[in-house]
Amino acid sequence: MAKKFVPQQFLNRELGQLEFNRRVLAQAENPTVPLLERLKYLCIVSSNLDEFFEIRVAGLREQIKLGGIAAGADGMTAKQTLKLVREQAHQLITRQYQVLNTDILPALDKQGVRFLRRTMWNDAQRAWIREFFLNEVMPVLTPIGLDPSHPFPRVLNKSLNFAVELQGKDAFGRNSAKAIVQAPRVLPRTIPLPPEISGCVHGFVFLSSILHAHVGELFSGMEVLNCHQFRVTRNSNLFVDDEEVKNLRISLQGELPHRHFGDAVRLEVTDNCTQQVADYLLQQFELEQNDLYRVDGPVNLVRLMDIPGRVARDDLKFPAFSPGVPGVLQKKGADMFKVIRKGDVLLHHPFQSFKPIIDFIQQASTDPSVVAIKQTVYRTGVDSELMDALIAATQLGKEVTVVVELLARFDEEANINWARKLEEVGAHVVYGVVGHKTHAKMLMVVRREDGKLRRYVHLGTGNYHPRTARLYTDFGLFTCNEEVCADANEVFSQLTSLGKARKLNHLWQSPFSLHNEVIRAIQNETKLAQAGKRAHIIAKMNALLEPETISALYEASKAGVKVELIVRGVCALRPGVPGLSENICVRSIVGRFLEHTRIFYFRNNLKHDVYLASADWMDRNFFRRIEVCFPVLDKKLKKRVIDEGLKAYLQDNCQAWEMNGDGLYQCKNSRRTARKCAQLELVEQLANPESKVVP
């Protein structure tokens, strides 16, 4: 029987996600953040909102479409949630474009980074742009006149399009009043102009401006009355029937193309689009007026994300730094296996380098003593030295097993390609357990030493992805502890074979033991508090949503347990409510790096238990995914995790936001006390000494 929860004790997930994006937008508003980085934050908000509409809003619409009236733990139905989401999303997007137009673009202009509006072009610019249009743009455009033989085209998800209103007859005597022009994705959305033409060092023009100015060239002899850019966002959830699927990779390959043409969930148009055109587009996409988002600028700000990389102005960006390497690994060509045998090794990314992980697997791939390598792959990127090393190891005759998660959202195609390449060279490729995403981050090497087999393991909180390892905060642990390695081997066996789940020595694993162990650890602190002993829980994660866990934290608070939560994104728990959660505080850190570590600390009567995990405290992570949560057993490394991963963030008064019981956040940027910025301190502490640091 499903447990009943008090709705007033829980906050709404979707509204919490929008609140997180307000905190990201605040970084774009912050004048102390370097200017080009502020532009990036603005783009990140758009990217986040795209996925929010593609997945969360699409899910709400599906529930409503299917007649579902069941409410979540917060008591709100899908229809009620969607109404509030629309209202708040409109407010957020309006504010986003205000920041772009009144703050960031004028500030960039003063720095010689200029976006040239077509109303301001001089003759030289106009001539250069026309030449560019005729040579680079017009040849790849396919304008579509709308008439009985040319119905409204299939519009790709998130693609740039133009609705054109026309007057007159074409060469065949047709009197069509409407046309659609789709901008191919091969075309850049911002085009750099030569400095001598733009009049500044870094001058750009939007592709939309170029098309607006020259759309008449596409309709010879007809008059263009209006031209409006638009963009539609579609449902991007993939559906694979667990009971019917026989080959997951083939089924997924067949499903992926449909993502581009799912049901529409949002329509974006420019603010000067006529209501007549907007109504026509809404009708074509079967959307309502409140699904229409009018924006004062380009309809896809995500495509501005590459501007900082194209502008050589280091003074307008976060200073670069070189990630550090633990002392035991600093010797060039260090034998990873020898180092790990001497003791566990902890890496804290991005402050410390991801390279030791690449070195580890590359050494394993060529080491004659290594007989087997096993790894999980959730996100690893299109280009990956790790995957190349696994392919090389297979070709050298080693037993290579790779558990590839084909349903890693928006990385499905890359993972399918890696699975195919690995299979082609003879690696054992499995896709985990249908119905349960494999989200655990595990890498195991089996090596023959002195006539016996010894296992080495790397366990992490983040993906095996070198690029995101420079942007996300994560911990990774190397160990050859026999019991921990035996646990990892058991999880790999579950993923590749069949059989009952066995009890593990140290690892907590979803979907079998992680939830129970987390609840048990929380309840243990509760019992200690009830016995008059000091009890303390600190947990850091991306999201906190699972109702039973939240209820257990409420009970702990009522018993007197001090609960400190560092939750980057959405949190359904209400902190600081008298009689319920007055001993719980929730903070969110939003800074240069995306906070991604999952750390669980339980004082446990001075045992100071510390766990790292791939899992957030969410229903999906506890019950519908393969996850691992692993202890830090070495006392020195345990202290490092507490100091670097928890205490530094609890003391942060620069990039921290504190949450109240209504789910609203207040920035803790202090001007009265000594400034403490966790991410800055970790760069100074762990990066190479010669590195520059975040100002």
Active site residues: 439
Task: State the amino acid at position 102 in one-letter form.
Answer: T
144-145 sheet: strands from edge to edge = 144-145, 178-182, 161-167, 223-234, 264-270, 292-295
Helices (H), 133-274: 195-198, 207-214, 248-255
| Closest of 467, 502, 500, 473 to residue 488, by C-alpha | 502
Distance CA 588, CA 652 (A): 10
Per-residue burial over 384-418, b = 16 or more CB atoms within 10 Å of its CB, e = otherwise: bbbbbbbbbbbeeebebbbbbbbbbeebbebbbeb
| Closest of 349, 386, 402 to residue 595, by C-alpha | 349
What sign does the CA torsion over 597, 602, 607, 611 have? negative
Distance CA 442, CA 115 (A): 46
675 forms beta bridges with none
Six token digits for residue 51: 């996925």
| Closest of 317, 414, 244 to residue 37, by C-alpha | 317
DSSP 334-354: --HHHHHHHS-EEEEETTB-S
Task: State the amino acid at position 645 in one-letter form.
Answer: G
Q: Are 550 and 10 in contact (CB under 8 A)?
A: yes
Half-sphere exposure of 553 (CA within 13 A, CB side): 33
Phi, psi of 352 (to 5 degrees): -115, 155
Phi, psi of 349 (to 5 degrees): -85, 150
| Residue 160 burial (CB count, 10 A) | 23
Instruction: Look at residue 179 and give its three-state secondary structure.
Output: strand
Q: Are 231 and 182 in contact (CB under 8 A)?
A: no
Distance CA 430, CA 491 (A): 13
Phi, psi of 377 (to 5 degrees): -130, 115
Distance CA 364, CA 443 (A): 11
Query: Which residues, in sequence order, are CB contacts of 3 under 8 Å at separation 6+?
Result: 547, 548
442-449 and 452-460: which strand pairing?
antiparallel
Q: Are 624 and 436 in contact (CB under 8 A)?
A: yes
399-404 and 370-377: which strand pairing?
parallel
- Rg of the chain on CA atoms, in Å: 27
Per-residue burial over 446-480, b = 16 or more CB atoms within 10 Å of its CB, e = otherwise: bbeeeeeebbbbbbbbbbbbbebbeebbbbbbbbb
| Closest of 516, 586, 588, 529 to residue 555, by C-alpha | 529
Cα distances (angstroms) measured from residue 257 to each of 141, 156, 329: 22, 10, 45
